[in-house]
Amino acid sequence: MNYKVLYAEDEPTLAHIISEGLRNNGYEVFAVANGQQALDLFITNPPDICILDIMMPLKDGYSLAEDIRSMESKIPIIFISAKSLPQDVIKGFKSGGNDYIRKPFNMGELLVRMEELLTRFDTLKESSNLTSNRKHFGGCELNILTQQLKTPIETYSLSYKETALLEILLDHRNILLERQVPLIKIWGDDNYYNARSMDVFMSHLRKMLKDDPSIQLMSIRGAGYKFIF
């Protein structure tokens, strides 16, 4: 299958290099130089995956992702940006991104992350039993397909990593989840920086899950986590 890629990047040289790299690996690439062009193209010619720069003319990547998410919840979005502060990354996920790659990056890394997301989303789309995409626990429901968490108080939109983390926690309910397991499975490496990133996502999940007092997400110092309900 030739996947269609919407690639929004305002730096011409980089846009050319990445576009050619994607085409050489079998992707059909539609490259645009600003956020408004990207949104117009998304509406007229929906892609299979979006790769978005953040700092673009007319409409930045965050706003573009929010617009895309308001129309389509079942498409992977990857941010590629030189903005590397933790708050930039978190804002990217909160605006609807499924992954965030910091510039400069290796083309192979982009291809692997694209493949993983496309495989995941294809599997979810092909599932005819929507119930299998919903996991109930306590008074909450996780919808894996739409990446939404419903608690007794509110409905939250999750990032790809938050959804994946919550899935792993559910699979290890009431037993110790060692830190290395989600780090290797989701981040691909258990180095210090990925561990700090995971701690941020776990903290965000913990705040949402406080809506249900029957659920506990415990940190076991030096070992991992326990998800109890």
Q: Give me the DSSP letters along 199-211.
A: HHHHHHHHHHHTT
How many domains does the chain divide into? Answer: 2
pLDDT of 131: 47
Position 147, amino acid = Q
- Joined together, the tokens standing for residue 139 give 């008074």
Give the CATH number, domain containing residue 224: 1.10.10.10
Give the CATH number, domain containing residue 61: 3.40.50.2300
Show Cβ contacts of residue 108 under 8 Å, excluding neighbours closer than 6 positions: none
φ, ψ for residue 37, nearest 5 deg: -60, -40
pLDDT of 126: 55
Same domain assignment for residues 57 and 90: yes
pLDDT of 154: 93
DSSP type of residue 78:
E
* Residue numbers of the domain that contains 75: 4-126
Same domain assignment for residues 96 and 9: yes
pLDDT of 128: 40
Same domain assignment for residues 107 and 141: no
Reported in sequence order, the residue ranges of 82-215 that DSSP labels E, i.e. its strands, are: 99-102, 134-137, 140-143, 148-150, 155-157, 176-178
Mean pLDDT per 10-residue interval, the chain, length 229 residues: 90 94 94 94 92 94 90 86 86 88 89 87 55 82 90 92 91 86 84 90 94 92 87
Same domain assignment for residues 167 and 96: no
Show Cβ contacts of residue 14 under 8 Å, excluding neighbours closer than 6 positions: none
Residue closest to 182 by CA, chosen among 228, 171, 174: 171
Distance CA 63, CA 223 (A): 38
pLDDT of 144: 85
Which of 93, 111, 126 is the last residue before a domain boundary? Answer: 126
Same domain assignment for residues 178 and 100: no
Same domain assignment for residues 20 and 92: yes
Distance CA 113, CA 156 (A): 24
Show Cβ contacts of residue 136 under 8 Å, excluding neighbours closer than 6 positions: none
